[in-house]
């Protein structure tokens, strides 16, 4: 077991305060559950001395056993409704807001109860209080599991049951002193006062950081978690376990849609739109019941919750005084006080056992103890053995507190994934409330008919649940997630299937053993903190690492996850074509083509990243050109635009939606897109504004904003600027190259450059604003694949690329960049804010900007061949590719230096 000294130091006063205020909900659950136990005789007019009615409200309300059972069971009916509603509400609106909602019912219900004058009004009050209690015992365990230190979730999870027991003890204590005259109304009113206190206390608490992170705001989640854990606590490791650290971008898609063009960020509090954006990650109750990964967990938690109630604990909590009154006479109320106190002591003392022995072991021991105690209690009552009955009751409650009391509330969040925890908890507590209703409604009748023999039934049920849990329910102690609990295998996120190994790859070493751990770690999501085994332990003899983009690996032109990385961004130089009007300009189209995005789709990649693939059509050719987008901030305006007659299903089918798709989704949230368009600033920001915002937000250090590294070569000199453009999106204009991307050609480095561009754009530290690859279907610089192969034959006869194109009567570069410019504008990358362009071609900078500088290139980022950067250890090597690169530099004037090889 973890040394308490190691985690007590990590607790903060704010965490303790939050834990206390949240668990006031379970306290009220226990309070209302037992509030009618001690004052039963006074309320029902069973004592002749209290039958007289007082002025205004009656002193007591005569009830038959059946009517008394109805009053008790209406509380469980409200609890059932509250439990079924709380899970979806907690998933949609948040844990804290749902807890605040329960306090309204906790405050309102006792008003009806305390001021009741007949059975109906009391039943209504009990129903309302049950709504709050049902919701509370669903959402509070989830909230605690998400704010508690990861290694001690089991320990702090027991506080749900501990506070339930505190509530029971409180009401029994009040009942012992106030069960006379009309003072019983004070007992019922105290619950309302506690509900008001909890409501006020929750105003000073925070939302669950995991909920905030899961709903698209890891930046705010990190702030909340640091507030809970303290400023000296390393929150990155904890967040990485949630799977949100190092995501594509810390700014969610919805926040990006609603931000202004000047780069200022909206408040990072979870908004309604943000809550809705990730609703697709939360499964409904019906989806959980039908899901192949979750239905076994649902059966397990239902049976555990049934075991908790049908083992007979509430027969003692709700009816212990009347049950033992004839046997123990005046000592029955004192025994119930002792029972409630013992329940708290045992549950608190046994809390560490949950982590030490395991959940399943504690459950089985608890059931065994309760079954034996039930047998002893049955014998004690039927044979009027007072001492045996008292001891049996104490052992019964002690056994319950060691396992079956706290653990069911913990298991619901450990047997399923985060997407199903809310609905599973609702299902579990619904089963719990149904069982509580059965006990509350029928135990008085069964007890009247069978007397002590009723506990033989509870003993038999304990034996049945002991066998079932031992056979069916898995142990969750020490398991990282639900997949590990149930033995389901999942492909690790950064592990890719090994590609077929080409004989040609034997000549190359694709695993750079000299690559440092620090460099490798830069390829992983930020905050991961370690190198996953599939990368760290990858032997050097395996084939080339998988490509992030190419449909087939390109030996050896696929950097993939093993691309060397450096502590600094790629070499780059600032550019401003407006300052050099004398520079010869390429021939540009007078007007840009009309482009329209037909469809987009989310594409998960073999490296664990995600990209959004957009298909474009235009009015100048019949080809489907592509935009490969990384990050959530870049969206197509033509795709998002409403089209006449289309339905919500049509919009989602073509990809015009916000957030993520999920089974059962019915809305594309087009209204959110409209609001984003209308909220944009009229004046675009300058580069200085953008960079100062990046520095202020912590994405870049001030020192990093003062200088940029220069490109080594004849055409690029070291440059010092006062601002940095590293927060601008990266853009790569790439032309289709079947030979270089698919059939492993070593005549060019096209496949390598495509993969390198994708690697840079997918790294949030190198490209915090994401990026876009414009993939033009212009094979062979626009001449087509057939003509390109002819050019290859001419190269084999001694001609270079430039000469081969001229001999075939093709221009050196037949591509049209107007399509790229129009597509960038449609993606919102036009305007003065600017982009960073990945290219070595000086003509491409001006060509991409368009005839009226519709797109502004602020910085040119060098695309240095991988073999040159690694001194030949990696990348495309060979005589053909060296001639190809030499021709680019010497005749196409690409801005690279042959001396840097």
User: 286-312, pLDDT tens digit by residue?
Assistant: 888 888 888 888 899 899 989 988 888
pLDDT digits 0-9 by tens, 89-117: 888 889 999 999 999 999 999 999 999 98
The Cα–Cα gap between 172 and 37 comes to: 7
The answer to the question of residue 32 being in a domain is: yes
HSE (side-chain half, CA atoms, 13 Å) at 653: 5
State the helix-helix crossing angle for 13-34 and 119-147, rounded to 10 degrees.
Answer: 150
Better pLDDT: 316 or 599: 599
The answer to the question of residue 355 being in a domain is: yes
Q: Is the pLDDT of residue 430 over 70?
A: yes
Backbone dihedral angles phi then psi of residue 341, each to the nearest 5 degrees? -65, -40
pLDDT digits 0-9 by tens, 631-651: 888 999 999 998 898 888 999
Going across the sheet that includes 610-618, the strands are 572-574, 855-861, 831-838, 730-735, 771-776, 625-630, 610-618, 595-604
Per-residue model confidence (pLDDT) at position 330: 56
Mean pLDDT of 255-283: 44
The Cα–Cα gap between 10 and 155 comes to: 14
Mean pLDDT of 330-352: 74
Strands (E) across 701-851 are located at 707-708, 719-720, 730-735, 771-776, 831-838
Band (pLDDT 50/70/90 cuts) for residue 549 is very low
Q: Which of 167-176, 221-230, 257-266, 727-736 has the lowest mean pLDDT?
A: 257-266
Return the closest-CA partner of residue 748 out of 758, 760, 736. 736
N-to-C CA span, the chain: 57
Q: Is the pLDDT of residue 565 over 50?
A: no
Per-residue model confidence (pLDDT) at position 545: 41
> What DSSP character marks residue 500?
P
| Residue 769: both structure tokens together | 């604003």
Q: Is the pLDDT of residue 199 over 60?
A: yes
User: What is the SS3 string spanning 607-666?
Assistant: CCCEEEEEEEEECCCCCCEEEEEECCCCCCHHHHCCCCCCCHHHHHHCCCCCCCCCCCCC
Per-residue model confidence (pLDDT) at position 569: 54
State the helix-helix crossing angle for 95-114 and 184-202, rounded to 10 degrees.
Answer: 160
Element (H, E) at 574: strand 572-574
Better pLDDT: 437 or 224: 224
Per-residue model confidence (pLDDT) at position 112: 94
Per-residue model confidence (pLDDT) at position 419: 75
Q: Is the pLDDT of residue 534 over 60?
A: no
Band (pLDDT 50/70/90 cuts) for residue 814 is low
Which CATH number covers residue 472? 1.20.1250.20
Using an 8 Å Cβ cutoff, are 861 and 852 in contact? no
CA distances 767 to 46, 407, 625, 719, 725, Å, are: 76, 45, 24, 21, 10
Return the closest-CA partner of residue 507 out of 795, 881, 792, 872. 872
| Residue 534: both structure tokens together | 């599939």
The answer to the question of residue 615 being in a domain is: no
The Cα–Cα gap between 573 and 688 comes to: 16
Using an 8 Å Cβ cutoff, are 870 and 894 in contact? no
Q: Is the pLDDT of residue 256 over 60?
A: no
Residue 556, preceding bond cis, omega within 30 degrees? yes
Q: Which of 11-15, 60-64, 663-667 has the lowest mean pLDDT?
A: 663-667
Mean pLDDT of 483-510: 47
| Residue 601 three-state SS | strand
Per-residue model confidence (pLDDT) at position 111: 95
Mean pLDDT of 823-830: 92
Q: Look over the chain and give the mean of its residue pLDDT values, rounded to a whole number.
A: 74
The Cα–Cα gap between 112 and 188 comes to: 9
Question: What is the DSSP pairing of strand 831-838 with strand 730-735?
Answer: parallel
C-alpha torsion angle, residues 336, 339, 341, 346 (rounded to 10): -170
The Cα–Cα gap between 443 and 319 comes to: 9
Beta bridge partners of 836: 730, 859
Band (pLDDT 50/70/90 cuts) for residue 459 is very high
The Cα–Cα gap between 628 and 762 comes to: 11
The Cα–Cα gap between 269 and 288 comes to: 29
Per-residue model confidence (pLDDT) at position 686: 41
Per-residue model confidence (pLDDT) at position 416: 82
| Residue 595: both structure tokens together | 């482009």
What secondary structure does DSSP assign to 276-318, as a single string? HHTGGGS--HHHHHH-TTTHHHHHHHHHHHHHHHHTTHHHHHH
Using an 8 Å Cβ cutoff, are 83 and 138 in contact? yes
Beta bridge partners of 615: 599, 626
Number of structural domains found in the chain = 1
Per-residue model confidence (pLDDT) at position 295: 82
Enclosing domain of residue 171: 4-214+289-485
Q: pLDDT exceeding 70 applies to what percent of the chain?
A: 69
The Cα–Cα gap between 339 and 75 comes to: 22
Band (pLDDT 50/70/90 cuts) for residue 660 is confident
The answer to the question of residue 367 being in a domain is: yes
Using an 8 Å Cβ cutoff, are 314 and 436 in contact? yes
The answer to the question of residue 115 being in a domain is: yes
Beta bridge partners of 775: 626, 734
Highest-scoring range by mean pLDDT, 329-343, 666-680, 833-847, 860-874 = 833-847
The answer to the question of residue 507 being in a domain is: no
pLDDT digits 0-9 by tens, 780-806: 666 778 887 887 788 788 887 777 777
Q: Is the pLDDT of residue 357 over 90?
A: no
pTM attached to this predicted model: 0.50
799 Cβ contact list (under 8 Å, min separation 6): 807
Mean pLDDT of 853-870: 81
Q: Is the pLDDT of residue 657 over 50?
A: yes
Per-residue model confidence (pLDDT) at position 600: 95
Mean pLDDT of 528-551: 39
The answer to the question of residue 258 being in a domain is: no
The answer to the question of residue 36 being in a domain is: yes
Using an 8 Å Cβ cutoff, are 851 and 592 in contact? yes
Mean pLDDT of 201-224: 88
What secondary structure does DSSP assign to 544-571, as a single string? PPPPSS-SS--TT---GGG----SSPPP
Return the closest-CA partner of residue 477 out of 371, 369, 403, 397. 403
Better pLDDT: 132 or 417: 132
Using an 8 Å Cβ cutoff, are 256 and 633 in contact? yes
CA distances 340 to 12, 317, 320, Å, are: 29, 8, 11
Per-residue model confidence (pLDDT) at position 882: 72
Band (pLDDT 50/70/90 cuts) for residue 709 is very low
Band (pLDDT 50/70/90 cuts) for residue 823 is very high
Band (pLDDT 50/70/90 cuts) for residue 694 is very low
Element (H, E) at 274: helix 272-277
131 Cβ contact list (under 8 Å, min separation 6): 78, 79, 81, 82, 102, 105, 109
Residues with a known catalytic role = 813, 815
Q: Is the pLDDT of residue 514 over 50?
A: no
């Amino acid at each position: 077991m973890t040394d308490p000294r190691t985690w007590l130091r990590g607790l903060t006063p704010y965490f303790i305060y939050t834990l206390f205020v949240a668990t006031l909900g379970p306290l009220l659950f226990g309070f209302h559950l037992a509030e009618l136990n001690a004052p039963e005789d006074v309320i029902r007019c069973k004592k002749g001395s209290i039958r007289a009615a007082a002025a205004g409200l009656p002193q007591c309300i005569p009830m038959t056993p059946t009517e008394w059972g109805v009053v008790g069971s209406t509380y469980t009916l409200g609890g059932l409704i509250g439990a079924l509603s709380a899970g979806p509400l907690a998933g949609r609106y948040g844990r804290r807001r749902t807890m605040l909602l329960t306090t309204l019912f906790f405050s309102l219900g006792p008003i009806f109860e305390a001021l009741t004058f007949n059975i109906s009004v009391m039943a209504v009050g009990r129903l309302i209080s049950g709504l709050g209690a049902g919701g509370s015992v669903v959402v509070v365990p989830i909230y605690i599991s998400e704010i508690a230190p990861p290694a001690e979730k089991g320990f702090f999870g027991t506080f749900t049951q501990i506070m339930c027991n505190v509530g029971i003890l409180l009401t029994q204590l009040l009942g012992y002193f106030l069960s006379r005259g009309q003072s019983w109304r004070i007992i019922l009113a105290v619950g309302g006062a506690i509900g008001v206190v909890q409501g006020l206390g929750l105003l000073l608490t925070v939302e669950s950081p995991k909920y905030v992170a899961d709903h698209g705001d890891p930046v705010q989640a990190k702030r909340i978690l640091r507030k809970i854990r303290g400023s000296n606590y390393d929150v990155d490791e904890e967040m990485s376990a949630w799977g949100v650290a190092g995501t594509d971008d810390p700014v969610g898609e919805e926040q990006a849609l609603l931000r202004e063009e000047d780069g200022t960020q909206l408040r990072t509090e979870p908004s309604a739109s943000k809550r809705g954006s990730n609703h697709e990650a939360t499964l409904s109750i019906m989806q959980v019941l039908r899901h192949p990964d979750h239905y076994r967990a649902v059966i397990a938690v239902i049976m555990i919750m049934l075991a908790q109630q049908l083992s007979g604990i509430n027969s003692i909590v709700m009816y212990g005084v009347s049950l033992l009154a004839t046997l123990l006479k005046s000592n029955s109320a004192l025994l119930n006080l002792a029972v409630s106190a013992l329940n708290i002591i045992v549950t608190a003392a046994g809390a560490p056992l949950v982590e030490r022995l395991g959940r399943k072991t504690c459950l089985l021991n608890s059931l065994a103890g309760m079954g034996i105690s039930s047998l002893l209690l049955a014998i004690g009552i039927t044979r009027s053995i007072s001492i045996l009955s008292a001891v049996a009751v104490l052992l019964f409650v002690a056994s319950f507190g060691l396992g079956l009391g706290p653990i069911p509330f913990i298991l619901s969040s450990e047997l399923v994934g985060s997407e199903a925890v809310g609905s599973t908890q609702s299902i579990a507590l619904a089963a719990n409330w149904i069982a509580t209703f059965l006990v509350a409604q029928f135990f008085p009748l069964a007890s009247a008919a069978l007397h002590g023999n009723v506990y033989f039934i509870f003993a038999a049920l304990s034996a049945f649940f002991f066998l079932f849990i031992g056979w069916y329910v898995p142990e969750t102690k020490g398991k990282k997630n639900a997949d590990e609990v149930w033995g389901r295998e999942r492909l690790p996120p950064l592990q890719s299937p090994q590609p077929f190994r080409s004989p040609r790859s034997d000549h190359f070493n694709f695993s750079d053993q000299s690559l440092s751990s620090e460099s490798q770690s830069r390829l992983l999501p930020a905050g991961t903190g370690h190198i996953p085994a599939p990368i760290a332990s990858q032997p050097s003899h395996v084939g080339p690492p998988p490509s992030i983009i190419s449909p087939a690996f390109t030996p050896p032109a696929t950097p993939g996850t093993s691309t060397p990385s450096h502590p600094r961004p790629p070499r780059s130089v600032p550019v401003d074509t407006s300052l050099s009007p004398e520079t010869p300009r390429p021939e540009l189209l007078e007007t840009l083509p009309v482009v329209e995005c037909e469809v987009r789709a989310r594409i998960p990649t073999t490296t664990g990243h995600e990209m959004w693939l957009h298909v474009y059509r235009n009015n100048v050719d019949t080809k489907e050109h592509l935009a490969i987008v990384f990050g959530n901030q870049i969206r197509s305006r033509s795709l998002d635009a409403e089209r006449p007659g289309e339905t919500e299903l049509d919009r989602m089918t073509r990809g015009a939606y916000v957030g993520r798709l999920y089974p059962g989704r019915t809305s594309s949230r087009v209204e959110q897109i409209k609001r984003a368009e209308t909220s944009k600033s009229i004046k675009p920001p300058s580069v200085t504004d953008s960079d100062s915002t990046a520095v202020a937000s912590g994405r870049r250090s001030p020192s990093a904003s003062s200088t940029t590294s220069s490109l080594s070569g004849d055409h690029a000199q070291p440059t010092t600027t006062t601002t940095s453009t590293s927060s601008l999106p990266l853009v790569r204009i790439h032309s289709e190259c079947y030979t270089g991307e698919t059939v492993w050609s070593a005549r060019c480095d096209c496949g390598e450059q495509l993969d390198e561009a994708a690697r840079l754009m997918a790294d949030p530290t190198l490209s915090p604003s994401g990026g876009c690859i414009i993939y033009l279907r212009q094979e062979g610089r626009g001449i087509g694949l057939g003509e390109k192969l002819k050019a290859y034959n001419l190269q084999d006869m001694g001609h270079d690329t430039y000469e081969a194109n001229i001999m075939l009567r093709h221009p050196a570069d037949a591509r049209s960049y107007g399509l790229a410019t129009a597509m960038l504008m449609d993606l919102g990358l036009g305007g003065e804010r600017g982009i960073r362009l990945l290219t070595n071609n000086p003509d491409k900078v001006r060509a991409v900007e368009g005839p009226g500088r519709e797109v502004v290139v602020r910085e040119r980022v060098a695309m240095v061949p991988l073999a040159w950067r690694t001194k030949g250890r990696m990348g495309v090597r060979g005589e053909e590719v060296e001639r190809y690169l030499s021709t680019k530099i010497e005749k196409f004037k690409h801005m690279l230096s042959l001396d840097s090889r």
